[in-house]
Amino acid sequence: NAGVTQTPKFRILKIGQSMTLQCTQDMNHNYMYWYRQDPGMGLKLIYYSVGAGITDKGEVPNGYNVSRSTTEDFPLRLELAAPSQTSVYFCASSPLYRGGLRVVNSPLHFGNGTRLTVT
Amino acid sequence: DAKTTQPPSMDCAEGRAANLPCNHSTISGNEYVYWYRQIHSQGPQYIIHGLKNNETNEMASLIITEDRKSSTLILPHATLRDTAVYYCISHTGNQFYFGTGTSLTVIP
C-alpha cells in the first residue's frame, strides 16, 4: 500500500488564485481529514469526512471547500487564496472497519504534506 | 473533545528514558488518549493510544493515571532520532484535535 498520498508537495500561489490540493488513500479507509499547520504551531482541523458523500467542518473551515465522491479521494479546494492560507497542509485517514468489525478507535495515517505559500 | 496541555519543550540525554507528561483534566469516560510525534515537517506519526489501562508497544509505554486526568509517554531509551515534537490528543467519535505539543530534544 502507498498509504496516504498528497500532491503537489509544494506550491506558490498569488493572492486570489484558486487551487485544489489532492489527497488519495489506498487503504479503503472511511474517515479522511484535512489539517493545516502554521509555522511553530500544532495542527488545526479544517474539514473531515466519514465516508463518500459526507463531509463536515472542523475548527478552521473558512476559505476552503471539500468533496468526497469516492472512498479513496478527498480533495481540498481553495477558491480565493489569501496570505493567511500560507501553511503546510496534511491529509490523514483512518479506518471504520478492520477485519469486518467496526473499529471504535483507530489512529490516523498521515500523508507527507503540501507546503503552500500565498504571496 | 478534552483539551490537552503539554510543556512546550524538554531535553533528554541519549540512552536515558524520556518521560513526556500530558494533562487532560476534562477528558470524558469514552475519550481515548493518543500520542503522535512529528519529525521535522513530516506528517505526524502514530505512537500509542489508551483508554484507562497502561499500554506498551515497540515504540513506547503509556501510563494513564487512575483518574484519567493525566498521562505520561515513556520512551525507554531515547535516541537522537527521537528528537521531535510530541502531541498528546484526546479523541472520541470522528475528530482528533491537536495542541502545540512538546518539543523533545535528545542530547548526545
Interface check B49 vs A, CB under 8 A: yes
CA distance A10 to A8: 6
Q: Which of B96, B82, B56, B65 is nearest to A32 (CA)?
A: B96
User: Which residue among B42, B46, B99 sits closest to A108, beta carbon to beta carbon?
Assistant: B46
To the nearest whole angstrom, how far is the Cα of A58 from the nearest Cα of chain B? 8
Contact B43 A59 (CB under 8 A): no
Count of other CB atoms within 10 angstroms of residue A95 = 16
pLDDT of residue A95: 85
Judge whether B5 and B23 are in contact, CB under 8 Å.
Answer: yes
pLDDT of residue A98: 62
C-alpha cell at A102: 467496526
- Write out chain A residues lying below 8 Å of B95, CB-based: 45, 48, 58
Judge whether A34 and A90 are in contact, CB under 8 Å.
Answer: yes
- Write out chain A residues lying below 8 Å of B87, CB-based: 42-43
Using DSSP's 3-state secondary structure scheme, residue A83 falls into helix
Name residues of chain B where pLDDT drops below 50: none
CA distance A108 to B78: 24
Q: What would you measure as the largest C-alpha separation in chain B, in angstroms? A: 41
Interface check B1 vs A, CB under 8 A: no
To the nearest whole angstrom, how far is the Cα of A49 from the nearest Cα of chain B? 9
pLDDT of residue A105: 67
Name residues of chain A where pLDDT drops below 70: 97-105
Which residue type, as a one-letter code, is found at position A91?
C
pLDDT in tens, A28-57: 999 999 999 998 888 999 999 989 999 999
pLDDT of residue A93: 93
**DSSP H or E run through A66:** strand A64-66
CA distance B53 to B64: 7
CA angle A114, A86, A48 (to 5 degrees): 60
pLDDT of residue B26: 81
pLDDT of residue B92: 63
* Residue of A43, A57, A102 best to disrupt the B interface, most CBs of B under 10 A: A43
To the nearest whole angstrom, how far is the Cα of B87 from the nearest Cα of chain A? 8
